[in-house]
């Protein structure tokens, strides 16, 4: 099988091509297409990167590491073509659509400050240890966000549970929505926030936050209120699923 990986640090031509691509704001690297294809790349952004991963069917696992490079690997079904595109510090990696749910699993490591945009149709999503903006949209995915310390997080799935364990920043917006699935949010007990929780058909369980929420309004489908001095906006919406809030 041909080697698909490239290492920018060791290949000056690749580095030059990234810079040219940044200047021209365009440039596409089409990789893969081989039987039982394996995609493997290393990117060296010149500052905090914005990484977009688009998948059709399969897991996406993105973990923060201490290196300044971004390493992306994917194992894909033979029919799946994975492409990447680099525009300055914007890196996009994605499985190309065809008429089926072709399978591809992504394993990515990136610096913690990387901003992440994750798009999927079907498959688990796991993000660990990031402090850049996080946006996740999927049709059918359980989403696990662990050790997240981002200024803004937006997660939106049609079907699937969302699990968040992290910190909230003052003035930040944190929105989690599932049409059919539970929201399970774990926050440090000393985190202030403004809560707006809505569950159309199931319960909202605020755990021990229930005692420290002030100015709250409680209706049959929603709870709004302020924890401590407020600040970060925490919006939780579930249509057919529970909302659970835990103190860490």
Partner 1 sequence: MVCTECQEIISEYIDGALELGEQVNIERHLADCESCRAVRDDLLQIVHFSHQLPLQSPSPALWSRIRSDVDSLHTGVWSRPQRWLARVRALNFNLSIPQLAAGAAVLVVVVSLSAIVSQRDGRPLQPAAPSVASAANADVTPLSNSDFQQLEKQISSLSATVEQKKTSWDPELRSEYERNLYYIDQSLVECRHQLKNNPADDVSQELMLNAYREKVRLLDSFEKF
Tell me how far, at minimum, the Cβ of 102 lies from partner 1, in Å: 9
Instruction: Note the residues at the interface with partner 1 (CB under 8 A).
Output: 97-101, 121-122, 137, 139-140, 156, 158-159, 177, 179-180, 198, 200-201, 219, 221-222, 237, 239-240
Tell me how far, at minimum, the Cβ of 198 lies from partner 1, in Å: 6
**CA-to-CA dists, residue 207 to 17, 129, 173, 192, 210, angstroms:** 52, 25, 21, 15, 6
The answer to whether the CB of 80 falls within 8 A of the CB of 144 is no
Tell me how far, at minimum, the Cβ of 202 lies from partner 1, in Å: 11
Tell me how far, at minimum, the Cβ of 201 lies from partner 1, in Å: 6
Tell me how far, at minimum, the Cβ of 121 lies from partner 1, in Å: 7
DSSP string, 53-121: EE-SBS-EEEEE-SSSSEEEEEEE-TT--EEEEEETTEEEEEEPP-SS--BEEEEEEE-TT-EEEEEEE
Determine the Cα angle at 196 with ends 143 and 223, to 5°: 110
Nearer to partner 1, 64 or 199 (CB): 199
Nearer to partner 1, 120 or 150 (CB): 120
Give the integer Cα–Cα distance in Å for 70 and 50: 11
Nearer to partner 1, 70 or 104 (CB): 104
Nearer to partner 1, 47 or 219 (CB): 219
**Which residue bears the tokens 């549970």?**
161
Nearer to partner 1, 26 or 98 (CB): 98
Nearer to partner 1, 4 or 101 (CB): 101
Tell me how far, at minimum, the Cβ of 100 lies from partner 1, in Å: 4
**Which residue bears the tokens 């099988």?**
1
The answer to whether the CB of 86 falls within 8 A of the CB of 46 is no
**Which residue bears the tokens 């569950």?**
199
**Which residue bears the tokens 């890196």?**
91
């Amino acid at each position: 099988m041909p080697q698909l990986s490239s290492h920018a640090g060791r290949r000056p031509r690749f580095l030059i091509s990234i810079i040219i691509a940044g200047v021209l704001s365009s440039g596409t690297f089409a990789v893969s297409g081989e039987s039982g294809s394996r995609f493997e790349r290393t990117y060296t952004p010149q500052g905090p990167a914005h990484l977009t991963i688009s998948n059709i069917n399969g897991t996406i696992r993105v973990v923060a590491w201490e290196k300044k490079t971004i390493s992306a690997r994917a194992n894909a079904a033979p029919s799946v073509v994975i492409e990447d595109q680099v525009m300055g510090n914007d890196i996009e990696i994605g499985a190309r659509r065809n008429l089926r749910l072709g399978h591809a699993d992504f394993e990515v490591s990136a610096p913690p400050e990387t901003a992440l945009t994750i798009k999927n149709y079907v498959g688990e999503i796991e993000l660990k240890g990031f402090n850049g903006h996080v946006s996740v949209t999927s049709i059918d995915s359980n989403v696990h966000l662990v050790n997240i310390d981002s200024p803004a997080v937006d997660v939106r799935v049609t079907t699937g549970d969302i699990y968040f364990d992290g910190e909230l920043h003052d003035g930040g917006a944190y929105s989690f929505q599932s049409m059919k699935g539970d929201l399970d949010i774990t926050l440090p007990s000393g985190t202030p926030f403004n809560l707006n929780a809505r569950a159309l058909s199931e319960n909202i369980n605020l755990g021990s936050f229930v005692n420290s929420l002030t100015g709250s309004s409680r209706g049959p489908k929603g709870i709004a209120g302020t924890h401590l001095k407020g600040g970060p906006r925490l919006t939780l919406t579930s249509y057919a699923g529970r909302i659970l809030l835990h103190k860490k």
